[in-house]
Structure 1
Amino acid sequence: MDNNVVHFLRLTSALNTPFKLQEPIPVTIELLASVLCCTPRNVKFILRKLEEKGFIQWQPGRGRGHKSGMAFMRSVEEILEEHLQELTGKGKIKQGIELIGLPEVNGALQERLLSLLNKHMGYHSEAESTAGLDILRITRNRRMEKLDPASVYTAFESYLIEQICSTLVTYDAQSNSFLPGLAHMWETNPEHTSYIFYLRKGVRFHHGRFLTSRDVKETLQRLTDLHSPVLWHYRDIVRIELQGDHRIRIDLARPNLFFLHLFSCVHMSILPYDVDFIHEPVGTGPYRLLDYNEDVLVLAAFDDYYAIRPLLDRVEIWYVPELGYNDRMYQLPDTELGADNGGGCANHSIDYPALGCRYIMMNFQREGRQHHPLFRQVLRMLYHPETLVSELGGHRITPADSFLPWKSRRTLWQRPSFEEAEKLLRSSGYQGEEITLAYASRREEEREEAEWLQQRGARIGLNLRLAPYSNLNIAELLLQADLLLAEEVLEDDWQWGMINYFVNQSNHFYSLLQQSQRDEIEAQLQEFAEVPEAARILLLERAESLIRDNCWVLYGSHLNKRAQLNQSLFGLHTGSFGFLDISRLWIKTGFAETEQGADHGMSNSNTVE
């Protein structure tokens, strides 16, 4: 960052409160040396630089005992906005984000700078080749977790892995069927105890080597070696036979009609056997990983991708801490959010209901009142889905009685009274002890929801303490919280999403249950993979009834997700977890406007012919 800006901020913060422009402030060189943490000699050098920049006006004191005078000629807001535009204009996004995070930047100023930053996000074209380089920059307000298919459990990281890697088959939600992926064909025996996959030829990994059946076998072995939390799904595999470089046979201990689901999920993203994915994320997907650090993740289009090469050449995902909103930003330059730029290229938002819901989990690993069934019933009455949606609104679109919206729509809601809840609270043996509810501090709606529940609890004497967390790990959570407010977003393959939610050892739900509860759920699902689809759905409903009827979880609301984008973005296809599929995005810039075109009433159009 420019040292002149840093020095200017230090001086204004220490000497000019409240801020006044062009009014001399009496100072001494010794005072300035203390503020700037430097020698008196360096103070004079710094002041000369600031005066050359037009930031200040300096009047040295004449004679012994006379103080010098310093006037600030420009406002902090003006200096910071100008410097941010200079940084982002040069592509120095990291330095721009650091500028916004300075202690002197807060409130309305921070919001204004964030808005300026977003104008430099979105689509850019760089003339690095004859055709130019199309880049899309996206902001996120949560640091990314480790990228590893074996252990991934968060939606955004799963989405990124799907851009870097490929699976043997892909699930198509529209037709509820499977399509070829890295395998162009597959077959099973009549008993569904053996599967053969036929791999495409000529598929390259990002590091150049061709895909073979050994990569598939080693990917499966890796799940075992790393004690993957999803191993439960693959427990019946008894033998893997390589029948050449492009054919692999997998034998099972018992029938499995759900097997293709297991090979289309992100955990079975095929990895190269000769590369450690943790240190070098390499796959066969449409994008290769160009850079990955705590500030930014950069994806570059893979020219040798076996399917259709992405139209965007590069995607940059920047971490902007505590952004203040959770919408995904796909902003284009020279446009205002939510406004038309006059040329027919207005920004707008895409809303789509997420498959899943927001809900509350009980921490059964911690001693407390949440172990009492009547107390959990009280919480169910207070955290009432229909009341929640009607009173708070926002992105909460419908009350939830299941992770699946179509099941929730069957519920007939009746609002319980506070008198009923208070009576039940006394019957539970509650003695006024503090109950801790944890929620994600970065999610504004979770804070709003937690405060709403706290107020409702106070009406019947429930002492609910709110504990916002940022990147709290599960070990700390188990020690601190009795309840956890969370969101679950399911994959398009909702059957896989549901079964994986129940048995995946890495998610919070599994971690917060006692072993006896886990055993009870698994007993319900023991025959899940052996039975046809209709029977599988029935088993999932029974497992969900178990956790709902016992109030192990309290459903809240189904959510509406939103992506902010420009109307010049085309190829808008929602992928898994509700994220836009960046491998299919492209930008239509339209015809350049001319005087002649304007005379004939011509303008940019979003129509594709």
Structure 2
Amino acid sequence: MDNHISHYLRIAAGSGSPYRLLEPLPASIDTLAEVLCCTPRNVKFILRRLEEEELILWQPGRGRGHFSTITFLRSMEDVLEEQLQGLMGKGKVKQGIELIGLPEVQGPLKERLLAVLNKQMGYHSEAETTTGLDILRIISNRHVLALDTASVYTAFEAFLLGQIYSTLVTYEASSDSFMPALAHMWEVNEACTSYVFYLRKGVRFHHGRVMTSTDVKHTLLRLKEQNSPATWHFQNIAGIELLGDHRIRFDLSRPNRFFLHTLSSVYMSIVPYDLEFSPLSPTGTGPYRVTRLSGDVVELAAFDDYYGIRPLLDRVEIWSLPDQWASVRQYQLPEAGEVRPSSAACINNSIDYPALGCRYLLTNFRKKGLQHNRKFRQAMSLLYHPLSLKKELGGNRITPAASFLPWLSRQANFSEPSPDDIKKQLKLSGYNGEYITLAYTNKKDERDEAEWLQRRGASAGITFKLLEYKDFQLDEIISRADFVFSEEVLEDDWQWGMINYFVNRSNHLHGLLLESQLAVIKQRVGSFMELDDKSRSGLLQQTEDLLRDNAWVLYGCHLNKRAQHNQSLFGLHTGSFGFLDISKLWIKSSFPEGSVEG
């Protein structure tokens, strides 16, 4: 951002009256020097520059008793919008995002600039071919600093890794079956203790080498060497035998009817054995390769030697926005040499999809406090009640949750508690006016629910203190919070998602429960992999009952997720976690007048 714009913003914000246009306001060189943190001499240079840019009018006081005045000629909104459009027109996306993240940009002004960003996202020419490159820009509220298949945690990371890497097999939700991927065929013995996979020939990594069975073995050994939080899933592998470059055999110490689910997971994304793994430059066999990765942007380029169907989009840029912004994903297109219509309705369409999972409260047993009292946790479940939450906050909260799985929640009988019910349960719990600390991330929906619960608690006689923390930085609040807001979104392979939630050592559940509680969960799911599909479903439900009935987890509402996409974007296939599968997207240009679509 230009220095004169920065100076203008600081003066306008420091004046206390930035929106009183064309009205002389009293000011002094000394006061402006404090606002701008510079010398009075530099203030005069800055004021002269702002006058040249026709942003202000400066009238110095003449003689004793005459005050200097400053007149703002343009509003902060207009100045920032013009600056943002200029930056985007030059392809300076990072600087545009930084501008909207300035502390002076708040409330309606931030929403206005976000709308401008959505409309103007990246209109610059790409002429590497005769027709130019097809580019998609995705706006995300996630900052991606590194990508590691061994320690992936968020749904967004899993989505990205799924574009960069491939697995031996893939799960197809529509048929509840497994499809060939890097392995074109597999065999399993009757006891489900031995699996043989036949690998495709000629599959290349992004660095050019052909994939072999050695890479598959290396991938699994790396998970163990890195002490991946997902190692529980692989604990029964007794041996790995290479039967040639394109055949590999896994021998298991116990029957495992869930093994294909495990091998289709993001943790088993095949990595090359001859490259030292770099989370800043991940190398796989997937449809896209990484060309840039920073906290601001992840840039992916189509991999021309992809073993499947080459993506139709040549490049995808995923830009991270300031943390406070909405979680609606924006899929925008650059277009060479032209600006699209200003109406958002002309540009975007929406895709809504109910997510598998829900938002919920987790009890922190790692901290001493009243939350260890089961009756108090039951009182909390009445306060954080799904029906009341949906009725009073609404929004993307579509149905009350009694499980991560919507079909199980629909079987529950919800009855909204009265204020007297809540007060009676609080009295039984022995609550005596203590502060109860609720921790939430800076997501707007979590903050809304925390503030709603604080108001609801006040009317029932309970005092909540709110504590904001950085997403996934549980160490910041583990010794300070009594309850923690969290959200779980499951993969399309929901059995894998559920069992991974129960056993993955890196998630909030494992961070907040005691070792004795985790041992109960581990014992409960110990036979999971040996069971058939129906029995596994029953076991997962019983384990979830354990968390709910003991109020270790307090369920809120199932959520509706939304993605905004450009009307010229086709091939819309919602993949796991509700993200659009970018490897199947393509851009459809409008036909010239008189053309007939065939």
Note whether the superposition's TM-score is higher than 0.5.
yes
Unaligned runs of 5+ in 1: none
Distance 2:452 2:22 in 1: 48
Relative to structure 1, is the Cα distance of residues 23 and 407 closer, same or farther in structure 2, using a 3 angstrom cutoff?
Answer: closer
Distance 1:10 1:532 in 2: 65
Q: Equivalences for 1:499-510 in 2 at 5 Å? A: 499-510=499-510
Relative to structure 1, is the Cα distance of residues 35 and 449 closer, same or farther in structure 2, using a 3 angstrom cutoff?
Answer: closer
Distance 1:26 1:381 in 2: 55
Per-residue Cα deviation, 1:310-369 (whole angstroms, up to 9, x for no partner): 111111111211453211111356245652x3xxxx522111110111111111111111
Match of 1:464 in 2: 464
Distance 1:413 1:161 in 2: 39
Match of 1:531 in 2: 531
Relative to structure 1, is the Cα distance of residues 123 and 314 closer, same or farther in structure 2, using a 3 angstrom cutoff?
Answer: farther
Relative to structure 1, is the Cα distance of residues 60 and 299 closer, same or farther in structure 2, using a 3 angstrom cutoff?
Answer: same
Question: How far does residue 48 in structure 1 lie from its aligned partner after superposition?
Answer: 4.9
2:340 alignment partner, one of 334, 344, 351:
334
Match of 1:380 in 2: 381
Question: How far does residue 279 in structure 1 lie from its aligned partner after superposition?
Answer: 4.1
Distance 2:24 2:332 in 1: 42
What secondary structure, in the 3-state scheme, does the structure 1 residue paired with 2:134 have? Answer: strand
Once structures 1 and 2 are overlaid, which stretch shifts more, 157-166 or 57-66? 57-66
Q: Does 1:324 align with 2:330?
A: no
Match of 2:394 in 1: 393
Question: How far does residue 63 in structure 1 lie from its aligned partner after superposition?
Answer: 9.7
Paired residues of 1:434 and 1:463 also in contact (CA < 8 A): yes
Question: How far does residue 24 in structure 1 lie from its aligned partner after superposition?
Answer: 6.0
Match of 1:404 in 2: 405
Q: Does 1:428 align with 2:429?
A: yes
Question: How far does residue 461 in structure 1 lie from its aligned partner after superposition?
Answer: 2.2
Match of 1:519 in 2: 519
Identity of aligned residues (%): 61
What secondary structure, in the 3-state scheme, does the structure 1 residue paired with 2:556 have? Answer: strand
Once structures 1 and 2 are overlaid, which stretch shifts more, 144-153 or 567-576? 144-153
AA in 1 matched with 2:552: W
Q: Does 1:85 align with 2:85?
A: yes
Match of 1:445 in 2: 445
Q: Equivalences for 1:15-26 in 2 at 5 Å? A: 17-21=17-21
AA in 2 matched with 1:278: P
AA in 1 matched with 2:464: L
Distance 1:406 1:123 in 2: 44
Paired residues of 1:100 and 1:113 also in contact (CA < 8 A): yes
Paired residues of 1:124 and 1:134 also in contact (CA < 8 A): no
What secondary structure, in the 3-state scheme, does the structure 2 residue paired with 1:309 have? Answer: coil
Paired residues of 1:84 and 1:99 also in contact (CA < 8 A): yes
What secondary structure, in the 3-state scheme, does the structure 1 residue paired with 2:104 have? Answer: coil
Paired residues of 1:399 and 1:408 also in contact (CA < 8 A): yes
Distance 1:122 1:562 in 2: 22
AA in 1 matched with 2:388: T
Distance 2:249 2:537 in 1: 28
Relative to structure 1, is the Cα distance of residues 52 and 150 closer, same or farther in structure 2, using a 3 angstrom cutoff?
Answer: same
Per-residue Cα deviation, 1:503-522 (whole angstroms, up to 9, x for no partner): 11001012211111111111
Paired residues of 2:91 and 2:123 also in contact (CA < 8 A): no
Match of 1:487 in 2: 487
Relative to structure 1, is the Cα distance of residues 31 and 479 closer, same or farther in structure 2, using a 3 angstrom cutoff?
Answer: closer
Match of 2:96 in 1: 96
Match of 2:278 in 1: 277
Distance 2:44 2:427 in 1: 72
Q: Equivalences for 1:248-327 in 2 at 5 Å? A: 248-275=248-275, 276-327=277-328
Relative to structure 1, is the Cα distance of residues 19 and 378 closer, same or farther in structure 2, using a 3 angstrom cutoff?
Answer: closer
Once structures 1 and 2 are overlaid, which stretch shifts more, 444-453 or 179-188? 444-453
Relative to structure 1, is the Cα distance of residues 85 and 430 closer, same or farther in structure 2, using a 3 angstrom cutoff?
Answer: same
Unaligned runs of 5+ in 2: 334-338
Distance 2:555 2:422 in 1: 17
Question: How far does residue 182 in structure 1 lie from its aligned partner after superposition?
Answer: 0.8
Distance 2:15 2:494 in 1: 60
AA in 2 matched with 1:457: G
Relative to structure 1, is the Cα distance of residues 519 and 571 closer, same or farther in structure 2, using a 3 angstrom cutoff?
Answer: same
Match of 1:584 in 2: 584
Once structures 1 and 2 are overlaid, which stretch shifts more, 568-577 or 315-324? 315-324
AA in 2 matched with 1:151: S
Paired residues of 2:199 and 2:247 also in contact (CA < 8 A): yes
AA in 2 matched with 1:481: A
Distance 1:93 1:152 in 2: 27
Distance 2:24 2:417 in 1: 66
Distance 1:17 1:418 in 2: 45
Question: How far does residue 31 in structure 1 lie from its aligned partner after superposition?
Answer: 6.6
Relative to structure 1, is the Cα distance of residues 67 and 515 closer, same or farther in structure 2, using a 3 angstrom cutoff?
Answer: closer
Distance 1:463 1:477 in 2: 18
Question: How far does residue 574 in structure 1 lie from its aligned partner after superposition?
Answer: 0.5
Question: How far does residue 197 in structure 1 lie from its aligned partner after superposition?
Answer: 1.1
Paired residues of 1:395 and 1:561 also in contact (CA < 8 A): yes
Question: How far does residue 273 in structure 1 lie from its aligned partner after superposition?
Answer: 1.4
Relative to structure 1, is the Cα distance of residues 55 and 244 closer, same or farther in structure 2, using a 3 angstrom cutoff?
Answer: same
Q: Equivalences for 1:211-226 in 2 at 5 Å? A: 211-226=211-226
Relative to structure 1, is the Cα distance of residues 201 and 123 closer, same or farther in structure 2, using a 3 angstrom cutoff?
Answer: farther
AA in 2 matched with 1:439: Y
Relative to structure 1, is the Cα distance of residues 65 and 4 closer, same or farther in structure 2, using a 3 angstrom cutoff?
Answer: same
Distance 2:571 2:505 in 1: 36
Match of 1:474 in 2: 474
Once structures 1 and 2 are overlaid, which stretch shifts more, 168-177 or 102-111? 102-111
Paired residues of 1:440 and 1:468 also in contact (CA < 8 A): yes
Paired residues of 1:122 and 1:138 also in contact (CA < 8 A): no
Per-residue Cα deviation, 1:441-492 (whole angstroms, up to 9, x for no partner): 22x2222222332333333322222222234612222111111121110000
Distance 1:579 1:122 in 2: 21
- Structure 2 length normalisation: TM-score? 0.92
Distance 2:589 2:578 in 1: 26
Distance 1:574 1:192 in 2: 32
Question: How far does residue 125 in structure 1 lie from its aligned partner after superposition?
Answer: 6.0
Distance 1:123 1:64 in 2: 54
Match of 2:419 in 1: 418
Paired residues of 1:122 and 1:330 also in contact (CA < 8 A): no
Per-residue Cα deviation, 1:9-40 (whole angstroms, up to 9, x for no partner): 34444558355555666777777666555566
Q: Does 1:233 align with 2:233?
A: yes
Paired residues of 1:124 and 1:135 also in contact (CA < 8 A): no
Question: How far does residue 44 in structure 1 lie from its aligned partner after superposition?
Answer: 5.7
Relative to structure 1, is the Cα distance of residues 527 and 120 closer, same or farther in structure 2, using a 3 angstrom cutoff?
Answer: same
Paired residues of 1:401 and 1:408 also in contact (CA < 8 A): yes
Relative to structure 1, is the Cα distance of residues 5 and 413 closer, same or farther in structure 2, using a 3 angstrom cutoff?
Answer: closer
Distance 2:30 2:486 in 1: 54
What secondary structure, in the 3-state scheme, does the structure 1 residue paired with 2:380 have? Answer: helix
Q: Does 1:116 align with 2:109?
A: no
Question: How far does residue 582 in structure 1 lie from its aligned partner after superposition?
Answer: 0.9
AA in 2 matched with 1:326: S
Question: How far does residue 412 in structure 1 lie from its aligned partner after superposition?
Answer: 2.1
Distance 2:291 2:46 in 1: 39
Distance 2:382 2:253 in 1: 45
Distance 1:57 1:555 in 2: 57
- Structure 1 length normalisation: TM-score? 0.91
RMSD: 2.6
Paired residues of 1:25 and 1:71 also in contact (CA < 8 A): yes
Distance 2:110 2:139 in 1: 15
What secondary structure, in the 3-state scheme, does the structure 2 residue paired with 1:480 have? Answer: coil
